[in-house]
A and B are shown apart, each in its own frame.
Chain A
Amino acid sequence: MISCETLKVDENHYHIYDPTLRNTFNFVFHPARSVISMPRIAVVVPAYNEEKAIANVVGEINAIKMPEGFSCMAVVVNDCSRDNTGEIISELNCVALQLPVNLGIGGAVQTGFRYAFENGFDYAVQLDGDGQHPAEEIPNLVREMNSGSFDVMIGSRFIDKTGFQSSWLRRFGINYFTRLNRFLVGVTVHDSTSGFRMINRKVLAVVNEYYPDEYPEPEAVIIYALHKFRIGEMQVQMRERQGGVSSIGAVSSVYYMLKVTLAIFYTFIRFKFSRKWQESRSSQ
């Protein structure tokens, strides 16, 4: 007979402490199916022309030592690459989603989120295919997320200002989005352009319905905040990209700022005044 200490984190999440093993196990209760299972995490990797880096990234994900009870699965979305990314990922130990046309980063990431949602994953982590995001930080994201029962956890470069810091122009842009977010929804996120983030199933249900296409990260923060999700942020060390080129060049950064600003305002207005969105919020 083993006596275990059960701790309810929130509605459907439990920590179970086993004193003999001196270990805490995490469980998720699925009300629809009335079953308890160990939480599964989909690591969504959008990849566009990443044939050099992608095998490494998937290898790193598969090598992660997850916190007790958690398991993770790499879900690579090939955004109709023109190089061999598609063939490479179909040989790797991961779920390979092959898009027939190029959708851009947002559409690709959403494909992964939809896969995670439809296949009953409890969490999703977004991790870029160029090797900039450190896969070994995922266990830290998981711990941080669970300790504060957050809905969204963002891996940020700018809390302690360590690791790869990117150019001053880009930092200026990121700072601007931080201020815009604070002004509109009163939530401070230091690195709202960071794609390295973890979301739980409540958030998955929302992004399954709507996720921005182009440059989705800052806009997604607004969507999360407007849904009253609890957003956490933690320091991670980012690296410089291992291969490929940034989706944002020097010329297009002005367009980027403008487009994202507009998108943020529209999302804000749409959410505040549209009945459909408010119903979806109250039904949660």
Chain B
Amino acid sequence: MARIQIIAITVSLLFLANIVRLIIRGKLREEYSIVWIVSTAVLLLFSFWRNGLETISKMLGIVEAPNLVFTGAIFAVLIYLLHISVVVSKLQKQNKDLAQEIALLRQKKGEKQEN
């Protein structure tokens, strides 16, 4: 096994361990962790299977194998960013509804205390 393989596998495993740690501590929700676990799995796969990249590139008709890495990685990042934007939009709407509800309830409570 080449030195770079060992480094790649070690880093991937550390990354995976960190994700698991975050989930256990309740800092990362399971549904958002799936994408991270899947990407770590992909990294691990290509760390072990050194010719994998070349093979898949040939299958897809890509001349330079690293181009596959860039295209795939950027595409995955964009999709995930879009997903995060959707999540933030949903949170913002819920936050607005809650804030308005609090303001209305506070006012109602103040009115009751006056009577």
Contact = CB atoms under 8 A, between A and B. Distances in A.
A115 B99 contact: no
Chain A interface residue count: which class?
10 to 19
B101 to A, nearest CB: 9
A97 B102 CA distance: 9
Interface string A87-101: 000100001111111
Contacts of A213: 92, 96
A96 B104 contact: no
Given A103-B96, A111-B103, 13 more contacts: A97-B104, A97-B106, A97-B107, A98-B106, A98-B107, A99-B102, A101-B99, A103-B99, A107-B96, A111-B99, A111-B104, A114-B104, A115-B104
A98 B110 CA distance: 11
B18 to A, nearest CB: 32
B55 interface: no
B85 interface: no
Interface string A61-97: 0000000000000000100000000000010000111
A110 interface: yes
B104 A77 contact: no
Nearest to A115: B104
B96 A77 contact: no
Interface of A: 77, 90, 95-101, 103, 107, 110-111, 114-115, 118, 213
B103 A99 contact: yes
Interface of B: 92, 95-96, 99-100, 102-104, 106-107, 110
A100 B99 contact: yes
Contacts of B107: 95-98, 115
A111 B107 CA distance: 11
14 contacts: A77-B103, A97-B103, A97-B104, A98-B103, A99-B99, A99-B100, A99-B102, A101-B99, A103-B96, A107-B96, A111-B100, A111-B103, A115-B104, A213-B96
